[in-house]
Amino acid sequence: MSDPVETRPAGPDWAKIGDALWRGLVRQKELSILLVTVAVAIYFISSNGRFASSENYHTIAQYFTPWAIVAAGEVMLLICGEIDLSAGFVFTLAPFILTTFADNGVPLFLALVLALLVCAVIGTVNGLVTTRFNIPSFIVTLGMYFLIEGVSLLMSNGAPVSAPSSGWVVEVFGHQRWSELIWVVVMVVIMQIVLTATRFGIYTQAVGGNPVAAAESGIRTKAVKVVNFAICSTLAGFGGILDGMRTGSFDPTNGGATTMFLAVAAAVIGGTALLGGSGTVVGALIGAVLLGIVFDGFNIQGTSANAFDVVLGIAILVAMLLNVYLTVLRKRVSR
């Protein structure tokens, strides 16, 4: 890199700053989606007085935290070329596993850990079946989707049960105001670091980007995928437990397909390529926040909830088109 030496000491060179910003926007998908999110937030703040309140921000957080934590796992899977359709129902199931352990006298914290372990096992099964038998994960996790949905309905008898209501575990894992959001942000940060700063993260990107090359260099591609399936299920289960603790009720209608699809939508809007190879966890978080803001904004304005789906649909299509277009642009910028 050799920039020409600046000869005349002028004030801020707006053309240069504009150019840098433009290059940044093209290079970093997250930056463009962040700008859209800020713009949408400003729109709702200025158009409705009730939007800008701590209470409402908390409401927005309640919307997007489940999507964001499930998305954190889905991003890892999408990057390595797989998907987990069952994650939404693992979100549903995890609190009931915790309850089962707790009801049998296991201390609450241990019950939580054990529940997460069971979730990890579910993900491992997804991963092993996908990689050992070479079945598309779309099909494997579709099967797991119905299986886990059925198990959650059986375990709950189809009705909500009250969540544990006292003790430090309850307070720390969801009940304290903002604790769910803090956990989700922590998880997103950890996963982003895993993705970009560790060998495992690079392997994940390599396995999705060029499986043959990854295998040829000696990367154990199947193991990488299985671990990512386990991570995705564990994060989804953790999200379900946090959400249940927050509301004080474990409900078999929580999570499910809606949460899973919104998580995938958040990932895609946040710049993750559906065919693998690239994406970021932070981008998916921003995508989830954007969806949360729109959902909440529409509620406040009294817009029909059905309009949300229209906006969501358009947002996904625009995000995909932008992904394709940006790839072309990025090539030009780098030449």
If the CB atoms of residues 141 and 205 are measured against another protein, the closer one turns out to be 205
Distance CA 288, CA 294 (A): 10
Question: Does 278 engage in binding with another protein (CB under 8 A)?
Answer: yes
Q: Provide the residue type at 253 as one letter.
A: T
Distance CA(271)–CA(267), nearest Å, equals 7
User: Are the CB atoms for 119 and 94 separated by under 8 Å?
Assistant: yes
Q: Which positions from 203 through 232 interact with another protein, judged by CB under 8 A?
A: 203, 205-206, 208-210, 212-214, 216-219
**Region from 85-93, 101-109, 235-243, 327-335 binding another protein, contact rule CB under 8 A:** 327-335
Q: Residue 28 Cβ, how far from another protein at the closest point, in Å?
A: 13
Q: How many CB atoms lie within 10 A of CB 109?
A: 14
Phi, psi of 82 (to 5 degrees): -125, 175
Decide whether 9 or 218 has the Cβ nearer to another protein: 218
Q: Which lies closer to another protein via its Cβ, residue 55 or residue 216?
A: 216
Binder of another protein out of 25, 153, 185, 202 (CB under 8 A): 202
Helices 14-27 and 305-334: crossing angle in degrees, nearest 10, is: 110
The nearest distance, CB 194 to another protein, in angstroms, is 9
Using CB under 8 A as the binding rule, whether residue 256 contacts another protein is answered as: no
Size of the residue set binding another protein (CB under 8 A): 26
Residue 177 backbone dihedrals phi, psi, to 5 degrees: -55, 135
Task: Compute the least distance from the CB of residue 171 to another protein, in Å.
Answer: 32
Four-CA torsion 57, 95, 249, 294, nearest 10 degrees = 30
Q: How far is the CB of 197 from another protein (least distance, A)?
A: 5
| Nearer Cβ to another protein (208/244) | 208
**1 versus 15: smaller Cβ distance to another protein:** 1
Minimal distance, residue 225 CB to another protein, in Å = 15
C-beta of 118 vs 273, nearer to another protein: 273
Q: Exposed, middle or buried: residue 160 (CB in 10 Å: 0-12, 13-18, 19+)?
A: middle
The amino acid at residue 173 is F
Phi, psi of 249 (to 5 degrees): -145, 135
Instruction: Quote the strand ranges of 84-124, DSSP E.
Output: none
20 is a site residue for another protein (CB under 8 A): no
Q: How far is the CB of 212 from another protein (least distance, A)?
A: 7
| Identity of the residue, 154 or 213, whose beta carbon is nearer to another protein in the bound complex | 213
Nearer to another protein, 300 or 329 (CB): 329
Task: Indicate the residue type of 146.
Answer: F
Shortest Cβ 195–another protein spacing (Å): 11
Q: How far is the CB of 19 from another protein (least distance, A)?
A: 17
Q: How far is the C-alpha of 183 from the C-alpha of 311, rounded, in Å?
A: 28
Here's the x/- map for another protein, 138-177, by CB under 8 A: it reads as ----------------------------------------
Measured CA to CA, the distance from residue 257 to residue 254 in angstroms comes to: 10
**Minimum CB distance to another protein, residue 233 (Å):** 22
The Cα 317–Cα 145 span in angstroms is 25
Tokens of 138: 């779309």
DSSP 250: E
Which residues in this chain contact another protein in the complex, by CB under 8 A? Answer: 1, 197-200, 202-203, 205-206, 208-210, 212-214, 216-219, 273, 277-278, 330-331, 334-335
